[in-house]
Structure 1
Amino acid sequence: MTRKEFEIKSQQCRPMMLRVAYAILADREEAADAVQDALLKLWRGRESLATVSNPSAYFNIAVRNAAMDIYGHRCRSEVSFNDGAGLPDSKVHADAETRTDASMVMKAIDALPDNSRMVMRLSAIAGLSSKEIADMTGMTDMNVRAILSRTRKKLKELFEK
C-alpha cells in the first residue's frame, strides 16, 4: 500500500475508529491516542495491507486492540490499596468484590479463542450491536450472534463451576 493509499484509507476509517475507541474508553483523548497508536502500527505493517480483503474491518480491529490495551492498562493502574479510605467496610468489600468479579470475567474473556474474544469485547465492552460487529469484522450478522451465544454459554458454564 502506498503512502497516498494509506492516507486515503485512514481518513475514510478514522471516524469509525474514533467511535470504536470511544465506546471502549469513554474518553475522547484516550480514544484519539488509540487511533493514533493503531494507525502507526498499521503504517509500520503497510506491506501486509495489500493482502487484506476488508481494510475497513482490519483498521477497526486494529483500533479496538489498541483501545483494549489502553483500557487494560488504565484498569490495572486504577487499582490501589487506598481505594477504600474513608468508606464504610461493607462498601469497601463490595467494591473489592466487584473488581475481583470483573477481573475474573476479563481473564476468562482473554482466554477465549480470537474470534470469540473479539466479538465478546465488541459486544460487552464497546456496546456494539451484532450488526455493527458484523460490518466491522466482515462476518455475517448471524455468525456474530452465534458466536456471542456460544461464548456467553461457555462463560456461564465456567462461572457456575
Structure 2
Amino acid sequence: MDKQEFIETFIPLKDRLYRLSKRILISNDEAEDAVQEVLLKLWKGKENIGNYKSPEAFAITVTKNYCLDRLKSKQASNLKIVHSNYPTSQNLEREVEANEEVGLVFKIMDSLPEQQRIVLQLRDVEQLEFSEIAHILDSNETAVRVTLSRARKTVREAMIKKYNYGITQY
C-alpha cells in the first residue's frame, strides 16, 4: 500500500476511530492520542494491510484493542474520566434541556458492560453491519445480535425507569 492509498483508506476513518476511542477511554485527550497511535501503527504496517479483507474493520479492531490495552495498562490510573470536555453556551439551561435525554442515553451506555458498550457504539452510532462487528470483535453474528439486544434492552429499561413514560406513582 502506497502513501496515497493509505491516505484515501484511513484518513476518512479518523472521526469514526476517534468516536470509538472516546467511547472506551472517555477522555477527549486520550481518544485523540489513541487515534494518532493507531494511525502510526497502521502506517508502519501498511505493507501487510493488503492481507486483510477489510482495512476499515482492521483499523477499528486495532483501535479497539489499543484502547482496551490502555485501560489495562498501569497508565490507566492516570486517565482522566471527565465529562467537562463539552463546550458551554450562554443559554446553558436550554442546552441542558435539549440534550438531557441524549446525555442520559450516553451515560447509560457508559455504564454497560464493555462488550455491550462496544457493540452498541459500533452498530447504533457507527452504523456498521453485523458481519463487520463480528469480524472486529472476533465473534459470530448471532453473538453480536444477542449482545446488541441486551444492551438496547438495558438502555430502554433505564430510560423507562427514569421517565416512567409520564406515569406518576403515588
Change (3 A) 1:13 1:54: same
- Per-residue CA deviation, residues 102-153 of structure 1 (Å, 9 max, x unaligned), is xxxxxxxxxxxxxxxxxx744246752656563653547534135789xxxx
Q: State percent identity of aligned pairs.
A: 26
Counterpart residue number, 1:137: 133
For structure 2, the residue ranges without an aligned partner over 5 or more in a row are 80-112, 150-170
Once the two structures are superposed, the pairs formed by residues 111-150 of structure 1 within 5 Å of their partners are 121-124=114-117, 127-128=120-121, 132=127, 134=130, 136-137=132-133, 139=135, 141-146=141-146
Q: TM (normalized to structure 2)?
A: 0.52
- Per-residue CA deviation, residues 26-48 of structure 1 (Å, 9 max, x unaligned), is 11110011011111111111111
Give the aligned residue type for 2:133. T
Once the two structures are superposed, the pairs formed by residues 1-161 of structure 1 within 5 Å of their partners are 1-73=1-73, 74-76=75-77, 121-124=114-117, 127-128=120-121, 132=127, 134=130, 136-137=132-133, 139=135, 141-146=141-146
Q: Using the alignment, how far apart are the partners of 1:141 and 1:130 within structure 2?
A: 12
Change (3 A) 1:56 1:127: same
Change (3 A) 1:130 1:7: closer
Change (3 A) 1:4 1:138: farther
Q: TM (normalized to structure 1)?
A: 0.54
- Per-residue CA deviation, residues 7-27 of structure 1 (Å, 9 max, x unaligned), is 111211111100100000111
Q: Using the alignment, how far apart are the partners of 2:122 and 2:4 within structure 1?
A: 33
